[in-house]
Amino acid sequence: MHWPLKFETERLVLRPIEPDDYHTWYTAMVERRPRQHNYDDDLVNLDGLDAAWFATVCEDHRESALHDQCYNWSVFHKQTGQHLGKIDLSTIQRNVFQWANLGYMIHNQFWRQGFAKEAVTAALTAGFKALHYHRIEAAINLDNYASIGLVEHLGLQRECIRRNFWYENEQWVDHLIYVALPSDFCLPEKPPIV
């Protein structure tokens, strides 16, 4: 695996954030709409989130990838360069499992344009081909219908409900688990790299 891992789709560029992306990221954060539903992020207080802070985030992301813990990509519009959101793949277990968790977020001012579908498809493909995961899960709140609709549309399979799986808002919460395998994307099944 070569890091940084960058890839493109028809409309998007997915790559790790760099300190030079600060103003693009900041603009996207300032232009966010108020929270649209329970699982949309609140507007962020940007006081103190300056270029030095951002450079630290970039370095943390780089270190996390180099240690095979979490691979973070920012999603940029190929033509405009706008920061649209982020995607991550977090390693749960390697060895004989090759197992990761998928996370994604598109800034709400860019919703309903197919960017999440395009970015998640690209990240799953990169996860299987470049990062050699065999199983990629998405853990989703039971009532997060937008996210459920996205992963079902992409062909992830609902596997189970994990009880008290994720700690959020000061309580343990059940999550639906959706799973993607390489064969779901017409990619070959490979033995683990251990």
Check residue 183 and give its pLDDT: 94
Check residue 165 and give its pLDDT: 95
Q: What is the 3-state secondary structure (H, E, C) of 156-168?
A: CEEEEEEEEEEEE
CB-count burial class (<10 Å; 0-12, 13-18, 19+) for 141: middle
Token pair, residue 146, equals: 């937008």
Q: Is 155 left (phi over 0), alpha (psi -120 to 50) or beta?
A: left
Residue 95 has pLDDT above 60, yes or no: yes
Token pair, residue 115, equals: 């960017």
Handedness of CA 59, 65, 71, 73 (dihedral sign): positive
Q: Does domain 7-185 have CATH number 1.25.50.10?
A: no
Rg (CA), the chain: 17
Stretch 78-92: mean pLDDT: 98
Percent of the chain with pLDDT over 90: 85
70 contact partners, CB below 8 Å, separation of at least 6? 61, 64, 88, 89, 90, 91
What type of residue sits at position 105? M
Check residue 7 and give its pLDDT: 92
